[in-house]
A and B are shown apart, each in its own frame.
Chain A
Amino acid sequence: DTEVTQTPKHLVMGMTNKKSLKCEQHMGHRAMYWYKQKAKKPPELMFVYSYEKLSINESVPSRFSPECPNSSLLNLHLHALQPEDSALYLCASSQAEIGGYTFGSGTRLTVV
């Protein structure tokens, strides 16, 4: 298995909703990432987990809450989002600090 799987592929949520994005990989990668990508822009790093511990939080608002239950799973819990949070949310994983990331196909989130 050489993939990063993200669910759901599309999500529409209201500003008072609570939802979660899920990411799974079975490549034995020890680092996992959440990126946010707005239209026609490059991905922006949100969080990095290394060996299941949060190692980077790029000053992300607390309405985004990451969780790494085990070495294969990464969640992003969403609560009280704003319309400007609508974007493509990409999960990625990598084996080591230096090396290519493997990206999932993303969850397209729309906040209404």
Chain B
Amino acid sequence: GEDVEQSLFLSVREGDSSVINCTYTDSSSTYLYWYKQEPGAGLQLLTYIFSNMDMKQDQRLTVLLNKKDKHLSLRIADTQTGDSAIYFCAESKRGSSYKLIFGSGTRLLVRP
């Protein structure tokens, strides 16, 4: 089935690392994405990982994929107050005609 789950809220202190977790149920997922949404704004693509990869790093962002457990995580190093936002994971499948399935979103609050 198509079900992507995330924890609702995460609070961290500025300068610490943040880890946002996501689980999905569809093993045929091809690509997995992380999007950021600031208040009143659209969604910004942060990074994505192909399902045959275990890890992807892009500056402060590290994505880990455990395909066996269908678990995806986003680690933000040296978290800043500007990172406060809602983070959505999403999955897509080849042959699904461009359909992107979003998780429920995790609200990240960075405390000074």
Q: Do A and B truly interact?
A: yes
Residues of chain A at the chain B interface (Cβ within 8 Å) = 4, 6, 31, 33, 40-43, 45, 48, 50, 55-56, 90, 92, 94, 97-106, 108
| Top 8 A-B residue pairs of the complex, sorted by shortest distance between their CB atoms | A42-B102, A103-B42, A100-B45, A103-B43, A105-B42, A106-B42, A31-B98, A48-B98
Task: List the B side residues contacting A31 at CB < 8 Å.
Answer: 98
B25 adjacent to chain A (CB < 8 Å): no
- CB within 8 A of A94: which of B42, B94, B98, B103? B98
B25 to chain A, nearest CB (A): 15
Residues A55 and B97 in contact, CB atoms below 8 Å apart = yes
B104 adjacent to chain A (CB < 8 Å): yes
Docked CA distance A60–B98 (Å): 17
Residues B43 and A56 in contact, CB atoms below 8 Å apart = no
Docked CA distance A101–B97 (Å): 13
Task: List the A side residues contacting B102 at CB < 8 Å.
Answer: 42-43
Residues A90 and B43 in contact, CB atoms below 8 Å apart = yes
Which residue from chain B places its CB closest to the CB of A48 in the assembled complex?
B98
